[in-house]
Structure 1
Amino acid sequence: MTDTEMNEAPTTASTTSTTPIAKLAMVTLDAPDASALGDFYSAVLGWPVAYSDENYAMLTGPSHALGIGTIPDYKRPDWPDDGRKQFHLDLAADDIEAAAARCIELGATRADPQPGETWVVLIDPAGHPFCLSDAKNWG
């Protein structure tokens, strides 16, 4: 997705409804170690860990939460994606390269290949790809 496309809102009837059916409360990731991945995302996002044990961790953000569940026999997503990855997190940063360097210090790796020029794809310690993009592009 280009920077221009990120700022263009779709105008279909299904996206212009004034009465929401529901609101996003939390995104939950599967992982081999919920507590460890919770610590990673707490450091990346600056969100506090509200709960953590060997089976589950939850971080609370300003308007949403991030849950992480330990899954027996967890299988990491592939990179490059082979069509099984269902979603990824897009994170906004003021300085993409500085943010990427800090994430790598915390245990992420830089994905290879990199599919774009205006964002960086990283792989979290559990194998989930996530993107760092310029905060100015998110309004």
Structure 2
Amino acid sequence: MTGSSTSTSTRSPKPLAGNILCHAMWARDGRELADFYATALGTQVTSTYPGPQGEPAAFAFRVGGSMYLFYTSASFTAPKWPQEELPFHMDLTFTDVRAAEQRLLGMGATKPDHQPGGTHWTILLDPSGQPFCIHQAR
């Protein structure tokens, strides 16, 4: 046989070119959590999606090209952090991180004693009990 003998099994597959549609989180009260993060990011909830019986069940807003979606789940339980690993969390940046921390605490966040980030980041718990990090904007 003449020509290339490259087998299709040794070729790299064509890379996928997917895009993220949204970042989704669950909480006992999806609206409360959506309002919390929307306020923290300087926007507001713009969409509501119905659940199986037509009740408001998911709440969304956009920042840049990303959509953030927050579902209400009666069975939601917050992770037992730091004892349990987190499958997902958000990192937010602010030009004045100290002022942002105080404002977030006033909005219902709490600050756990365990702070492994030192001076690099601060961990807060959102109103649903899920950890998120705040950093100084660079």
Q: TM-score range by the shorter chain?
A: 0.7 to 0.9
Aligned length: 118
Structure 2 Cα separation of the partners of residues 132 and 47 of structure 1: 17
Contact 1:79 1:111 in 2 (8 A): no
TM-score normalised by the chain length of structure 1: 0.78
Is 1:70 the counterpart of 2:66? The answer is no
Residue number in structure 1 paired with 2:11 = none
Structure 1 Cα separation of the partners of residues 88 and 58 of structure 2: 20
Runs of 4+ in structure 1 deviating by more than 4 angstroms, as ranges, are none
Gaps of 5+ in 2: 1-14, 49-54
Residue number in structure 2 paired with 1:26 = 22
Structure showing greater Rg:
2
Contact 1:94 1:134 in 2 (8 A): yes
- Out of 118, 122, 125, the position equivalent to 2:124 is 122
* 1:53-95 superposed Cα distances (whole Å, 9 cap, x missing partner): 6411001111101100011211111121422x20110111112
Which residue identity is paired with 1:91? L
* 1:27-50 superposed Cα distances (whole Å, 9 cap, x missing partner): 000000111111111111112211
Structure 1 Cα separation of the partners of residues 125 and 105 of structure 2: 9
Percent pairwise identity: 32
CA RMSD of aligned residues (A): 1.8
How far does residue 116 in structure 1 lie from its aligned partner after superposition? Answer: 1.4
Contact 2:35 2:44 in 1 (8 A): no
The structure that is helix-richer by fraction is: 1
